[in-house]
Amino acid sequence: MSADAERLAWAYLSRVAEPPCPTLNAWVHAVGPVEAAARVRAGAEPAAITGHVEARRETDCAEADLETLDRRGGRLITPGCDEWPHVPFASFATAEKKDAHPPLVLWATGTARLDEVGERSAAIVGTRAATAYGEHVAADLAAGLAESDVAVVSGAAYGIDGAAHRAALAAEGITVAVLAGGIDVPYPSGHSSLLHRITRDGLLLSEYPPGVRPARYRFLTRNRLVAAISRATVVVEAGLRSGAANTASWAADLGRVVCAVPGPVTSSASAGCHQLLRNNRDVELVTRSAEILEIVGRIGECAEEQPRPAARLDGLTGAERVVYEALPGRGTRSVDEIAVEAGLPAAQVLGPLAMLELNGFVLRDEGRWRLAKIKR
């Protein structure tokens, strides 16, 4: 069996049934792609498969599809390829959703390898009608992840998806766009340039052969792949019913970590995020890329401690702080009164008082002490 014959068979089979088609997948893996393709063409497939392939069995565009792929410098990733993500796709076997099945093949263009991407990746998804806040947060998260060598996965749509892809590219990181149509069909058309940049510096993926137009049901089908090849799915902005919420549902079903970014309580664009956080105790609230890195990164690769704003009293010694806090918010106290309040001998109060006065924290007022006014 030649490699060309097998490649042609895979290409033909990827078009003959609407994915995912687990019945066809299982049969192809049992008999091999070349025999399966020949029998489908001849109408000699098992009866259980006929209903899935009958309408398209005579639509044989395999040679033209592969020419389109080769012209774009792409490749057909099949289950026998080194690049096939066996471990991520194995989670489909334990998922409960109706369409929880791996693709038959994947059409790909780009310099990144799918098997390597899956080792360290996070999906950033959200609404097409993103707010300025949502796009800013998505870009900030994607840039931070890209700078930490985490691949950013999304669906190339307007809004949150586009912001995440662009930020990852700007940070010279890897980004993966999983499409709901053929790799030669730029969708949305306004992202043609972005998709070209992803092809050059990242990875475009689709389970649909060239020329297939996106459709609503294909977006929902595509979402399972976005979730599967990512170690975590981060929802930045989403309505109560949205594709992003669907992707999060797939991620949970596949055993991936689901994260959500909170937004303004008055924003309908964040209502889906808030619902995820309120109704699912397993959903992680994230606000920084370092928090996502804790989830998808290597063991021991933890986020740095979040910087705290400097407080006015941070530089005080323990004794100075005790003496300072023994003074009333209004009014004055004598040394003896301060000593009683602080629980210290009077002799041990004088030194801290002197240092506090020197640094502008307290003032002496006719033998008594009071707090200095804070200059704003």
Q: Confirm whether 327 is domain-assigned.
A: yes
In a domain, 305, yes or no: no
Residue 310 lies in a domain: no
Q: Could you give the CA distance from residue 305 to residue 297 in angstroms, rounded to a whole number? A: 16
Query: Is the domain of 168 the same as that of 87?
Result: yes
Same domain, 81 and 210: yes
Q: Could you tell me if 98 and 243 lie in one domain?
A: yes
In a domain, residue 337? The reply is yes
User: Is 286 found in the same domain as 150?
Assistant: yes
The tens place of each residue's pLDDT in the chain, 376 residues long, gives 577 999 999 999 999 999 999 999 999 999 999 999 999 999 999 999 999 999 999 999 999 999 999 999 999 999 999 999 999 999 999 999 999 999 999 999 999 999 999 889 999 999 999 999 999 999 999 999 999 999 999 999 999 999 999 999 999 999 999 999 999 999 999 999 999 999 999 999 999 999 999 999 999 999 999 999 999 999 999 988 888 999 999 999 999 999 999 999 999 999 999 999 999 889 999 999 999 999 998 765 654 555 666 677 777 888 888 889 888 888 899 989 998 888 889 888 888 888 888 888 889 888 899 898 876 5
Euclidean distance between CA atoms 33 and 54, whole angstroms: 17
Same domain (yes/no): 191, 270: yes
Q: What's the rounded Cα separation, in Å, for the pair 203 and 59?
A: 28
Integer Cα distance of 79 and 58 in angstroms = 25
Rounded Cα gap, residues 89 and 101, in angstroms: 8
For residues 128 and 249, membership in a common domain is answered with yes
301 inside domain: no
The answer to whether residue 275 is domain-embedded is: yes
Q: Which residue, of 34, 60, 86, is where some domain finishes?
A: 60
Domain CATH code at residue 286? 3.40.50.450
246 and 104 in a common domain: yes
Tokens of 67: 């020419």
Q: Which domain holds residue 52?
A: 1-60
pTM of the model: 0.80
Residue 36 sits in the same domain as residue 79: no
Q: How many domains does the chain have?
A: 3
Residue 121 falls in which region: left (phi positive, over 0), alpha (psi -120 to 50) or beta = beta
Structural domain includes residue 303? no
The token pair that represents 309 in the structure block: 């704003």
Residues 152 and 174: beta-carbon distance below 8 Å: yes
Domain stop point among 243, 263, 296: 296
User: Domain containing 347 — which CATH number?
Assistant: 1.10.10.10
Same domain flag for 262 and 340: no
Whether residue 282 sits in one domain with residue 251: yes
Does residue 358 share a domain with residue 238?
Answer: no
Question: Do 240 and 348 have their domain in common?
Answer: no
